Every structure is written in structure tokens, then in C-alpha cells.
Amino acid sequence: MHKITVTQKGQVVIPAEIRKKLNIKKGTKLLIKEEGNNILMIPDNKMHISHMRGALKSKESMIEYLLNERAAEYAKLEREWKK
């Protein structure tokens, strides 16, 4: 776990170790969500066309597929944060 500080402008610096691990680069969009007393920040670069190819062949709609992918990401983050 890392401790970061919020600037006067509300900005934070994501530690380099985390940026490298999650492939967060200049211009990467992050999804941010408030969950109780926690803030989740999820890189929006996780969804690539290659992930969607399989969904197009299934009976599951693209919206259902994307919602399921997001839910899985949130669940994984929540488990990691509770460690």
C-alpha cells in the first residue's frame, strides 16, 4: 500500500511502480468511483479490441460483456484493497 498526498488543486501522483504495473501513461484515462469510504481508480486502457472479439461471437450482448468485465475488475480491486 502506498500513501499519497492530495494537492491544493485536488491532484494526486500515482506511484511509478503502480503506473508501470498497470500501464498508466501520460494521457491515460482513469475511471473513478466512490465506494463507501474508498475511492477506486481504474485505468480505462484495460479494454482492448482483442478482448471484445470473443464477445462478438457469443450470445451475450456487448453491454452485458462490458458490464461483466467492469464488475470483475471492481471485485478484484476490492479483494486487493481488503488485504
> What per-residue confidence (pLDDT) applies to 8?
97
- Rounded to two decimals, what is the model's pTM? 0.51
Reading the chain (83 residues) residue by residue, the pLDDT tens digits are 889 999 999 999 999 999 998 888 898 888 888 888 989 888 876 554 445 555 555 666 778 888 888 999 999 998 888 87
Nearest to 71, CA basis, from 38, 28, 37, 40: 40
Q: Delimit the domains of the chain by residue range.
A: 29-81
Amino acid at 32: I
Nearest to 28, CA basis, from 45, 15, 46: 45
Q: Find where cell 485536488 sits.
A: 10
> What per-residue confidence (pLDDT) applies to 52?
52
Count of CA atoms in the C-beta half-sphere (13 A) of 22: 20
